[in-house]
Structure 1
Amino acid sequence: MEPKWLQWGKQLQAIAQAGLTYSKDVYDLERFEDIRKLSMEIMSEYTKMDTTSIRELFANETGYATPKVDIRAVVFKDEKILMVKEKTDKSWALPGGWGDIGLTPAEVAVKEVREESGYQVKAVKLIAVMDKKCHPHPPSPYHVYKMFLQCEIVGGEAKEGIETSSVEFFSADALPPLSIPRNTESQIQLAFKHLYNPGEAVYFD
């Protein structure tokens, strides 16, 4: 679903990053740096961002390029789903964020729910592993895998966090304005599908 120019820019960036990491020849290093500059020019042309900002955003990593992992917690109460209002875009999302080094996906989900909503939960089921480019999110400079883990409340109470301004539960037919970079309506509806059909298979891609 993402535009071709974004695919090309990210692929060129990944090639350049790997080349700059593993190449020893000075001329090859120059060529890979040229490829990195070309990827930034593509991004700059279509996003209207300056190349310095783009370098800081997505062309500043080293080592072999791999996807980032975004983990979202799916928490139900009385057949309604837990969502938090993000301070950055004033829209609603499932609690979650980037995976943390040293923590399992389940541990990240539990931590994010506690920090963003105040609830204590335990992770009980993997719902989906999605490639962000295959779903109707806005274009992203990173290649992202999204993991959705169903969790059960074991304690705590609603409490806004540093990044969230409100905590509420919503029914499937009355969802609030969503933070589309974080989650889409189809993803929320998939979560409800697992609520109503506990034997539903894990979705991937």
Structure 2
Amino acid sequence: MNRFGELTERRLTQARRLLAIAQTGLHYATEAFDRERYEEILRIAHAQLAELANMQTEEVAQLFAREEGYANPKLDVRCAVFTGTGEVLLVREAADGRWSLPGGWADVGASPAENAVREVREESGYAVTIKRLLALWDMPKHGHPPSVFHIWKLVFLGEIGALSEISGVETNAAGFFHIDALPPLSLGRILPQQVRKLYQLQCNGGVEFD
């Protein structure tokens, strides 16, 4: 990451922290004066995040409208499926036309591994068996494009099973690609060096975490 990217990420971290303080404060505050101050901090954080992510302040406020209670990072659950010849299963994101590992936000009511199985089935059509955890990454540490959310990413190793049809609406294609010949990736979701690292981890039995 270059100096400009490092500065942007530091400012994003500060803005996310301000938002977390405001959100948590509003959850616990009982006095009108305190709530007023936390609401002001919240507006400042929304404006800062909007500027850094090249969005409108109203868009950012809408994204966080349902975020209540004690502030926590968002959890992104992915599944990496490799062939014995170094190919990886990728899905094409309808939102940007680029490719990623199957996955998405963790849903309430299922374990992280169960979420990963469901995401692979919906986005690629494949049934998989989860073998183990490959990585737990703090996304701001890995050079992803700016995001208003602070995201933790869990990546599981999956073993391929039966094939049916894609049932989700967030992806529109699936395929296997060699790790040295990857298509354009959706960099907000996964980076090329992360795909190659995951392949190494599944080969040597390792786990990586931040």
TM bucket, shorter chain: over 0.9
3-state secondary structure, aligned to 1:3: helix
2:82 alignment partner in structure 1? 76
Q: What's the CA shift string for 1:16-49, capped at 9, x where partnerless? A: 0111110111111111111111112222344453
Matching residue's letter, 2:209: F
1:102-138: CA deviations, max 9, x gaps?
1001101110010011111110110000001001211
1:140 partnered with 2:147: yes
In structure 2, the partner of 1:120 is 127
User: What's the offset of the Cα at 1:194?
Assistant: 2.3
With normalisation by structure 1, the TM-score equals 0.92
Contact 1:118 1:160 in 2 (8 A): yes
1:65-94 CA distances to partner (integer Å, 9 max, x unpaired)? 001100110112233110011111111100
Structure 2 Cα separation of the partners of residues 66 and 159 of structure 1: 31
Asked whether the equivalents of residues 13 and 59 of structure 1 are also in contact (C-alpha less than 8 Å), the reply is no
Unpaired stretches in structure 1, ≥5 consecutive residues: none
Local SS of the residue matching 1:181? coil
Instruction: Give the 3 Å change call, closer, same or farther, for CA 49–111 of structure 1 in structure 2.
Output: same
Counterparts in 2 of 1:45 and 1:87: CA distance versus 1, 3 Å: closer
1:41 aligns with 2:42: no
Residue equivalent to 2:60: 54
Q: Give the letter aligned to residue 125 of structure 1.
A: R
Equivalences, count: 203
Larger displacement relative to structure 2 (49-58 or 7-16):
49-58
Which region of structure 1 is more displaced relative to structure 2, 152-161 or 82-91? 152-161
Q: Give 1:64 deviation, angstroms.
A: 0.3
Where do 4+ consecutive residues of structure 1 move more than 4 Å?
Answer: 157-161
Secondary structure class of the residue paired with 1:69: strand
Structure 1 residue 8 displacement after superposition = 1.5
The one-letter code of the counterpart of 2:16 is K
Where 1:177 maps in the other structure, the secondary structure is coil
Aligned-partner Cα distance in 2 for 1:146–1:166: 22
Return the match for 1:153 from 154, 160, 180: 160
- One-letter code aligned to 1:195: Q
- The TM-score, its normalising length taken from structure 2, stands at 0.90
2:3 is matched with: none
